[in-house]
Amino acid sequence: MDKTSVAHIARMQLEKAARAMNLSEDLVTVLKCPKRILQVTFPVKRDDGTVTCFTGYRCQYNDARGPTKGGVRYHPNVSADEVIALAAWMTWKCALVDLPYGGAKGGVVCDPTHLSEGEMERLTRRYTTEIMPILGPHSDIPAPDVFTTSKTMAWMMDTYSMFTGHTEPSVVTGKPEALGGSLGRKEATGRGVAIITRELFTKLKRSLEGATVAVQGFGNVGGYAAFFLSEMGAKIIAVSDSSGGFVNPDGFNVPELMRCVDEHTCLAPYPGEKMDKDEVLYKDVDVLIPAALENQIRGDNAPRVQAKIIVEGANGPTAPEADEVLESKGVHVVPDIMANSGGVIVSHLEWVQAMTGLYMGEDEVNGRLEGRLVRSFEAVWRKAHELRVSLRTAAYIVALERIAEVHRYRGLFP
């Protein structure tokens, strides 16, 4: 496998943690391999009457702990390699926060910025139809990811329901509230990033008041992380998205940035001091939140990172060779499987609500989210100090211990 591939990175991280905890070679062999990956190609009629064929994927990595769970992304760079890595990370993430799920991920190779809403709907419904043999509330439950939204999930749910002959709100999460979506779901991942940052500051006996923060990827996750951190007293001084970067040493008015993105789908029109979008990674700040795509901090650019703390809002933003550089510099890196787990925690609550028909108020959802995050972070912090390993390795060990226990009880079929 190409050593630059994200699946290779995910495998390296697994192997490092497995060595640190003396995980059995047989189980490591099992956990290196995705259980199932489905590739589909399907035609979609465009608005002008022409037909385009699209390629889509769905990977179910490991279902030992329960049905697989994971997002669906629409992006030109979607590949089999990417969805395998993301599904693996979802597997560890669900185990880390002790949810009864395995990990999955899916996507379609496309550029959503060049598709109309009607084309997006037709693409979504056809993609859902093609992967439907492996979907279901007890087998695999999609959610929104890059360039997909609650509306996308509504189309997926409706398509699945048309084929089964009954409305099935539990087949996806991240739905609109009118269709059974959970209160607090949209903010959950960003809120979780902020809570985990707060917990780390507490462990380090530091105050968030006045702490400087840079956010790479000012989308849903990065935007809400910035919003909640600013409410906790932090100062957001640098932000970026695919359209460019902005800097304000005095701190941004985060709601203004969020309104700009809501109105224009990007930061580009914001009337502030501009900088190159990648420069946000190298600002001299207390906290860096990479919340864009994977493989952003690598061996070649890690020496330029000045942040003392990195809290990974995105999946897989830091390559293993960069981890070594950052560890040597004394940087605290809170890994993705811990930092951005708020979304899947509330997705689980949404699934439970849809399965039972009993719905929770937003305060209860947020309270359950915070409680699970705090408990999970405490377990990771203890493990890191007990074994004298990084927070990433500790998080993997906590997750793998839970997965290993399930595999021991279930045994090997046949």
How far is CA 38 from each of CA 57, 80, 123, 329, 379, rounded to the nearest angstrom?
6, 9, 17, 41, 35
* Pair of tokens at residue 315: 């999946």
**DSSP letter, residue 394:** H
Give Cα 78 distance to the centre of its chain.
15
Model pLDDT for residues 7-58, shown as the tens digit of each residue: 888 999 999 999 999 999 999 999 999 999 999 999 999 999 999 999 999 9
Which amino acid, 190?
A: G
Cα dihedral 162, 163, 166, 168 in deg (nearest 10): -90
Give the separation between CA 60 and CA 38, rounded to whole angstroms: 9
Q: What is the pLDDT of residue 3?
A: 46
Taking the model in full, what pTM does it have? Answer: 0.93
Q: How far is CA 203 from CA 53, 329, 334, 353, in A?
A: 51, 19, 13, 34
What whole-number distance in Å separates Cα of residue 282 and Cα of residue 301?
Answer: 9
Radius of gyration of the chain (CA): 20
| Least confident among 154-158, 237-241, 261-265, 390-394 | 261-265
Element (H, E) at 301: none
Q: Which residues pair with 62 in a beta bridge?
A: 103
* Average pLDDT for 337-365: 97
Instruction: Determine which one of 69, 93, 105, 383 is catalytic.
Output: 105
Angle, helices 320-328/6-21, rounded to nearest 10 degrees = 60
Give the type of residue at 292: A
What sign has the CA pseudo-torsion 100, 132, 29, 294?
Answer: negative
Give CA separation, 91 vs 63, 110, 265, 360, in Å. Answer: 8, 25, 31, 26
pLDDT for 106:
98
Distances (CA, A) of 112 to 54, 71, 84, 86, 131: 12, 16, 22, 20, 20
- pLDDT per residue over 275-296, tens digit each? 999 999 999 999 999 999 888 9
309-311 and 36-45 as β-strands: parallel, antiparallel, unpaired? unpaired
Q: In 145-206, where do the E strands start and end?
A: none
Give yes or no for residue 123 having a pLDDT over 50: yes
DSSP H helix total and E strand total for the chain = 13, 12
Q: What is the mean pLDDT of the chain?
A: 95
Statement: residue 182 has pLDDT above 70: yes
Half-sphere exposure of 54 (CA within 13 A, CB side): 29
Find the mean pLDDT for residues 396-403: 97
User: Helix/strand/coil (H, E, C) string of 24-82?
Assistant: CHHHHHHHCCCCEEEEEEEEEECCCCCEEEEEEEEEEEECCCCCEEEEEEEECCCCHHH
Q: What pLDDT band is residue 2 in, cutting at 50, 70 and 90?
A: very low
Domains by residue range for the chain, with CATH: 34-169 (3.40.50.10860), 186-339 (3.40.50.720)
Given a cut of 60, is residue 146 above it in pLDDT? yes
Is a pLDDT exceeding 50 seen at residue 257? yes
Considering all CA atoms of the chain, what is the largest pairwise distance in Å, rounded to the nearest integer? 63
Q: Is 105 helix (H, G, I), strand (E, B) or coil?
A: strand
3-class DSSP assignment, residue 181: coil
Bridge partner residues of 36 (DSSP): 60
The mean pLDDT value for 244-249 works out to 95
- How much is the pLDDT for 4? 62
Contact assessment for residue 69 and residue 94, using Cβ atoms and an 8 Å cutoff: yes
The phi-psi region of residue 217 (left if phi > 0; otherwise alpha if psi is between -120 and 50; otherwise beta) is left
| Mean pLDDT value of segment 57-76 | 97
Give the pLDDT confidence of 357-372 residue by residue, as tens digits. 999 999 999 999 999 9
pLDDT value of position 23? 95
| 105 in catalytic set | yes
pLDDT for 1 beyond 70: no
Give me the pLDDT at residue 265, please. 86
